[in-house]
Chain A
Amino acid sequence: MDPTNLVPSPDSIPAAAWIFEALDVLLFALHILVVDIVVGGVLLTIYFHLTQRKKSALQPPDSDRLPTATAIAVNLGVAPLLFLQVLYGHFFYTSSVLMATFWLLVIPLLILGYYGLYVHRRKLSGAPVLAKTFLVLSALALLYIGFMFVNNITLMYQPAKWAAYFDNRAGTILNLGDPTLVPRYLHFVVAAVAVAGLFRAAVARFRENRKGTDETATKRAGLRIFAFGSMAQALVGFVFLATLPGDFILQFLGGDLFSTTVLLLGVGLAFAAIAAALRNNLDATLYLLGGVILAMVVNRANLRMMYLEPYFTHDALEVDPQYGVFAVFLAVLVVGVGSVVYMLRMVVSKKEASL
């Protein structure tokens, strides 16, 4: 069966494709940053409880922030998933149906994971065993969700694998045979730990600035987690690259100028970030991380187009413009972000006033 015939015909899109691609990349970068803070934060908190060191540099754990970060992570995930569906919905819905049962379980597990973080936070002093149990359950739920996203996204790229549907319509097809699956997944999980480490350092500095406490140890610990995590991440990234189909590797290594440039930029920034972290330069590390994430998200988009190239390019999408509505969206976005900033300033100024 020719997999091309299985690819659904797409609907027309209401603005130029690059707009959605750009929105997708930007918002996914923000989303994955907060996801890293949540997932990495949960894993570090588990590690903290496992080691049980009172004087740990992991003190205080992230417990307080995790539920809120989860809310923001999910919220920031909605937009890129929306824009992804505008451009690649016909691939994404198909792969989602193939793994429907596992995919839908993401929702109850997300609710469980989210509530688990609240239980963990509220019961930590009163019922520590319950709290820790829920923390582990939340971690498992979050790791499951990430794994399913990686399955779905990689399956969506590969219509050649879709024919498995004809032997299994129960929605239980996963992309387990794909050699890139595990490296790709680990690439996200390891990144999460590194980023969460760096986030701890940033929060520690925030606390330091506000309360005047000495947070040097926490900041250092966070930066070290980031540095060593990123080193591991480089290794995983290398394995991930190596498991990609041969011609994709060639494109990333000189074959395609843009892809190669972005990859080199991402890797270069990552090494620079590691170096900055090892020198305890928090600001530089944070800025560099921003660059790394953005570059890596663009990398990811480049890889997507390599996968889809035999089946689809953006030119195939008919544009049926709704720029008026787009303008309304931008206006609402400005007002919405303005309101958020207004509210946040209210909180921050309150703090400053009370200092």
Chain B
Amino acid sequence: MNYPIWETLTIGGGTLVAIIAIFHVYIAHLAVGGGALLWLADLKAEREGDERMRAYVKKYVWFFLLLTMVAGGMSGVGIWFVIALVNPAATSHLIHNFVFGWAIEWVFFVGEIVALLIYYYKFDDLDVKQRHTVAFLYFLFAWLSLFVINGILAYMLTPGAWLETGSFWDGFLNPSFFPSLFFRTGMAITIAGLFGFATALALKDEETQTRLTRYSAKWLLYPLLPTALSAVWYYYSLPPEVRFVAFDLNAQSHPFVAKFLGMSVVLFAVGAALVTRMPRAARLILVSFLIVVGLGWIGAFEYVREIARKPYVLREVMYSNSFTDELGELADKEGALATAKWTKIKQVTEENRLEAGKELFLLQCGACHTVGGIRNDIVGRAERLTYLGLLAAIEGQGKALTYMPKFYGTRAEKEALAEYIAVELLGREPFTHVKTAPPTYPDPAEPLPFDAARDEYVLLVWNDLGMHCISDSDPRFVILPPANTLEAQLIKRGAKPEIVDEGVTLVYRVEEGFENPSAHVEFWDYAEKIFGAKLEKNVGLAGLGMQGEFHRNPATQSFVAELIPVVPYPDGGGVNPYPYFYVEAIDDETGEVLQRTRAVAPTSTEMGCLNCHQGDWRVEGAAGVSNKTADNILAVHDRINGTTLLEDALAGEPKLCQSCHADPALGAEGDPDVLNFSAALHGWHANYMPYDDYRACQMCHPSHPNGSTSCNRGVHSQAGVHCDDCHGTMEEHGYSLLKAEAHKEPARRLMKNLDVRESVGKAGVIPRTPWLVEPDCLGCHTRFQASEAAFTGFNKWQYRQNLYRFRTDGAGVRCIACHNSTHAVYPAFNALEENRDNSQPMQYQGNQLPIGAERNCAVCHKTTPSVELHHPNILRPFRNRVLIEP
């Protein structure tokens, strides 16, 4: 960063440029079109011997001279002045690359003013022919000025082959040169007509006035079709990526496009109306109105052009904040402050963070964002984000939403900038991580009894996922309803144990205090709207309530109780994400209880949306998505995707995210053009995540160690295995999900800036369908052995029915039955109560180990087997004993 920055935080440099530039282009286009009008009207007057018309031309030229030469000419110099102040680096680039272009334009400017001065001052002295020659020369020089400047302006938007060759002519005669030239010429003629109305009004004679108003109307109306066609040509001369970013992705362009089109209609409609006879006063009002509309019209167009250039000031050469890719890379490596010439602070320290943040703001944001000012006010935009949200926004800018440049700099610089905005501009407290109140600690429950000598049955029950998250934001949107699935296998003990799946009924009931979920969440109030299901209170989407029967699943010799609507809110208050379910196996014939056990139905509402999206926890400072957070999320979604989710929700029509985003977890097909839910959510946020390890996961999932859930509680968590060790980093995870959707345009866009470890490479990433293609135990535990030191589950996916949660061993026993759910694999360490997930090992074995671990075959086998029937390497001591010993 080469130049000092003029601190104009409230007005903003962009606005200053816009004010001067729009004022100038209006007059400058008039100078061109008006030149043609003068020349042709003068010819016509002579040809028809029309003295009144000649008088009119003379009147027009005086007004024209005053307006174009003084205000127009001087404001043209003004643009040059102001752009050099606001973006000296870009100005320097344009001057140095196009100096001879500017010099040529200057020659035309000389010719233009000399011709105009002579035309005006010698109007009556010259003979007609000479006068017409001068008029023509004026128009020619004016149009040639447009010709030259148009080339350089168009270069800023479509540099074309210049990017490879650096050649003047490639830059000048760039892809949008001709469409833009035609378009601007058309606008110039239209504007000449507009001002023709104004000068016609100054004529006293009503008949001449009407005649000349009609003449001017032709100037306004005739170019309409060619201008419209050249606008379309202009539009299609932009690369598709530019069109998409400017007109689809960047909602900022929409009002300007609308204004431009709307004002075009007004301009031509009112212009056409002016040819009718009307009182002078009415005409005066309409013409004044049109002159103002004309300014808005060309202003809207110039804004659209500016927006189309974003995030660049010189497309693909230099960003609006004067950074180039080259400077950016250097800043990423060595620091934006250290590599900028004009910063007082060169490095962020504890003491100078806020000051450094301000420097960074000036350096990278101030070119477009004001502070509490007219345009792109940063305060208004940042207000909806928390500190972490700001940090994420800084991390992600320019990646998914490519109309902003990336932030270039070190991690410490990103944090300093986020802190400056949060503390200094938004007046927030200095940052502390989101506080979470401790959950309600249940009393430790005694293990249920098991008589190894007399009990004939072992009942194994588990939850299918290890953690089921619920969005309790039902009035606003639903990601996941309360729907916890339990599964079970019943084993008859013996010399040759048998799996029993006939002649018995499994019944369940939830732990006391959890029987009435409808008292705690609004799911049942919206279930019909969202899921189209009329549900009784406390009954889930599969018809099961808080107590009931499992049904048989013969294919897996298991029992299943699906979509039980348990929530983590006990009646007594507090939050408990691990409610127990008590399960009994009852003999159908005798009614005898063959075995009873319990399992947790992990269910959490601790979704970390509020970390970035504002708001507090909905329930007891510990969990739940508040309306404030939900509204914030919907507003962002609406802004970026053009949806109306917030408005709909506030009108009582909340949506299920999966109604558009397909999701195998819910069996939702979604909209085929829209990314599936996991890909969208992870792919989008991966671009923004300020962390690149497991802390990224903790931002959203209930795995933060200070949270109320700490869902990653299996043995791996204690062995130092983190989320990213199995799933890959957030970026890799997002990438693998997006890759499966790569036939959809948004997926490709989101993938662009995600990093994948070198050893795999982007090309090597195997696409994943969420929930059906997952990392697997055997990815690291090759052949059931201890994993190697450099373990990773990333990119070693397992598919569908072979997934751990569905798989059975050689004997028909489900892996998950003995090892417990993913994320809670025995021995599990639950933060609420250490053995809460270990109920069954504690019951059947008196320890926390997997069922049958350490050659404890006697849990089921009455005689010790000699072969490793369930899986290889089963007959051995437990490897991680150190974790469970006090």
Q: Is the CB of A85 within 8 A of B95?
A: yes
Q: Is the CB of A8 within 8 A of B3?
A: yes
Q: Is the CB of B92 within 8 A of A336?
A: no
Binds A, one of B108-116, B154-162, B190-198: B108-116
Q: Is the CB of B126 within 8 A of A350?
A: yes
Name which of B70, B88, B137 has the most chain A CB atoms within 10 A of its CB. Answer: B70
Q: Which residue of B70, B84, B125 contacts A350 across the interface (Cβ within 8 Å)? A: B125
Interface size for B (C-beta < 8 A) is 64
Q: Which residue of A13, A89, A114, A322 contacts B168 across the interface (Cβ within 8 Å)? A: A322
The closest CB in chain A to the CB of B341 belongs to A6
B159 to chain A, nearest CB (A): 16
Residues of the B chain whose Cβ atoms lie less than 8 Å from the Cβ of A10: 92
Measured in the bound complex, the distance between the Cα atoms of B16 and A346 in whole Å is: 42
Binds B, one of A105-113, A191-199, A215-223, A266-274: A105-113
Cross-chain pair count, CB within 8 angstroms: 193
Would you call A14 an interface residue if the criterion is a C-beta within 8 Å of the partner chain's C-beta atoms?
Answer: yes
Would you call A133 an interface residue if the criterion is a C-beta within 8 Å of the partner chain's C-beta atoms?
Answer: no
If over half of A's interface residues share one DSSP class (helix, strand or loop), that class is named, otherwise mixed; here it is helix
Q: Is the CB of B166 within 8 A of A320?
A: yes
Would you call A165 an interface residue if the criterion is a C-beta within 8 Å of the partner chain's C-beta atoms?
Answer: yes
B265 to chain A, nearest CB (A): 33
Q: Is the CB of B4 within 8 A of A98?
A: yes
Measured in the bound complex, the distance between the Cα atoms of B115 and A337 in whole Å is: 12
Residues of the B chain whose Cβ atoms lie less than 8 Å from the Cβ of A235: none
The closest CB in chain B to the CB of A339 belongs to B111
Contact status of A14 and B99, CB under 8 A, knowing A93-B88, A96-B85: yes
Chain B residues 97-119 with CB under 8 Å of chain A are 97, 99-104, 106-111, 113-115, 117-118
The closest CB in chain B to the CB of A351 belongs to B125
Would you call B529 an interface residue if the criterion is a C-beta within 8 Å of the partner chain's C-beta atoms?
Answer: no
Q: Which residue of A8, A9, A14, A71 contacts B100 across the interface (Cβ within 8 Å)? A: A14
A66 to chain B, nearest CB (A): 13
Would you call A127 an interface residue if the criterion is a C-beta within 8 Å of the partner chain's C-beta atoms?
Answer: no
Q: Is the CB of B88 within 8 A of A336?
A: no
Chain B residues 19-74 with CB under 8 Å of chain A are 20, 66, 69-71, 73-74
Would you call A258 an interface residue if the criterion is a C-beta within 8 Å of the partner chain's C-beta atoms?
Answer: no
A122 to chain B, nearest CB (A): 10
Measured in the bound complex, the distance between the Cα atoms of B121 and A3 in whole Å is: 52
Would you call B800 an interface residue if the criterion is a C-beta within 8 Å of the partner chain's C-beta atoms?
Answer: no
Measured in the bound complex, the distance between the Cα atoms of B103 and A12 in whole Å is: 17
Would you call A166 an interface residue if the criterion is a C-beta within 8 Å of the partner chain's C-beta atoms?
Answer: yes
Q: Which residue of A7, A171, A336, A346 contacts B6 across the interface (Cβ within 8 Å)? A: A171
Measured in the bound complex, the distance between the Cα atoms of B89 and A98 in whole Å is: 15
B679 to chain A, nearest CB (A): 44
Q: Is the CB of B114 within 8 A of A169?
A: no
Q: Is the CB of A347 within 8 A of B122?
A: yes
Contact status of A343 and B118, CB under 8 A, knowing A86-B95, A86-B96, A89-B96: yes
Would you call A118 an interface residue if the criterion is a C-beta within 8 Å of the partner chain's C-beta atoms?
Answer: yes
Would you call A75 an interface residue if the criterion is a C-beta within 8 Å of the partner chain's C-beta atoms?
Answer: yes
The closest CB in chain B to the CB of A64 belongs to B121
Q: Is the CB of B103 within 8 A of A79?
A: yes
Residues of the B chain whose Cβ atoms lie less than 8 Å from the Cβ of A347: 118, 122, 125-126
The closest CB in chain B to the CB of A98 belongs to B4
Residues of the A chain whose Cβ atoms lie less than 8 Å from the Cβ of B92: 10-11, 85, 89-90, 93
Measured in the bound complex, the distance between the Cα atoms of B82 and A221 in whole Å is: 42
Q: Is the CB of A90 within 8 A of B2?
A: yes
B597 to chain A, nearest CB (A): 71
Q: Which residue of A104, A115, A320, A344 contacts B82 across the interface (Cβ within 8 Å)? A: A104
Residues of the B chain whose Cβ atoms lie less than 8 Å from the Cβ of A242: none
Residues of the A chain whose Cβ atoms lie less than 8 Å from the Cβ of B111: 336, 339-340
Measured in the bound complex, the distance between the Cα atoms of B127 and A108 in whole Å is: 38
Q: Is the CB of A93 within 8 A of B75?
A: no
Residues of the B chain whose Cβ atoms lie less than 8 Å from the Cβ of A75: 73, 106, 109-110, 113
Binds B, one of A203-211, A282-290, A326-334: A326-334
Contact status of A346 and B344, CB under 8 A, knowing A74-B77, A78-B109, A325-B100: no
Q: Is the CB of B168 within 8 A of A78?
A: no
A342 to chain B, nearest CB (A): 8
Measured in the bound complex, the distance between the Cα atoms of B62 and A118 in whole Å is: 11
Measured in the bound complex, the distance between the Cα atoms of B83 and A97 in whole Å is: 10
Q: Is the CB of B4 within 8 A of A165?
A: yes
Contact status of A328 and B95, CB under 8 A, knowing A100-B6, A111-B70: no
1/0 contact trace for B606-640 toward A, CB 8 Å?
A: 00000000000000000000000000000000000
Residues of the B chain whose Cβ atoms lie less than 8 Å from the Cβ of A335: 107
Measured in the bound complex, the distance between the Cα atoms of B775 and A232 in whole Å is: 90
Would you call B5 an interface residue if the criterion is a C-beta within 8 Å of the partner chain's C-beta atoms?
Answer: yes
Q: Is the CB of B81 within 8 A of A106?
A: yes
1/0 contact trace for A61-103 toward B, CB 8 Å?
A: 0000000100110110011001101100110011011101101
A285 to chain B, nearest CB (A): 27
Would you call A125 an interface residue if the criterion is a C-beta within 8 Å of the partner chain's C-beta atoms?
Answer: no
Q: Is the CB of B2 within 8 A of A118?
A: no
Would you call B435 an interface residue if the criterion is a C-beta within 8 Å of the partner chain's C-beta atoms?
Answer: no
Contact status of A82 and B103, CB under 8 A, knowing A71-B73, A94-B88, A336-B111: yes
The closest CB in chain A to the CB of B1 belongs to A8
Q: Is the CB of B115 within 8 A of A332?
A: no
Residues of the A chain whose Cβ atoms lie less than 8 Å from the Cβ of B20: 107
Residues of the A chain whose Cβ atoms lie less than 8 Å from the Cβ of B121: 68
Q: Is the CB of A332 within 8 A of B104?
A: yes
Would you call A129 an interface residue if the criterion is a C-beta within 8 Å of the partner chain's C-beta atoms?
Answer: no
A residues in contact (CB < 8 Å) with B: 5-14, 20, 68, 71-72, 74-75, 78-79, 82-83, 85-86, 89-90, 93-94, 96-98, 100-101, 103-104, 106-108, 110-111, 114-115, 118, 162, 165-166, 169-171, 320, 322, 324-326, 328-329, 332-333, 335-337, 339-340, 343-344, 346-347, 350-351, 354
Closest 7 CB pairs of A and B: A93-B88, A8-B2, A336-B107, A107-B78, A169-B7, A11-B96, A100-B6
List, sorted by A's number, 16 A–B pairs whose CB atoms are closer than 8 Å. Answer: A14-B100, A75-B73, A86-B99, A97-B88, A107-B81, A169-B6, A169-B362, A170-B7, A322-B168, A328-B104, A336-B107, A336-B108, A343-B114, A343-B137, A347-B118, A350-B122
Given contacts A89-B91, A110-B74, A347-B118, 8 further A-B contacts (CB under 8 A): A8-B89, A14-B99, A107-B75, A169-B5, A329-B100, A329-B107, A336-B111, A343-B137
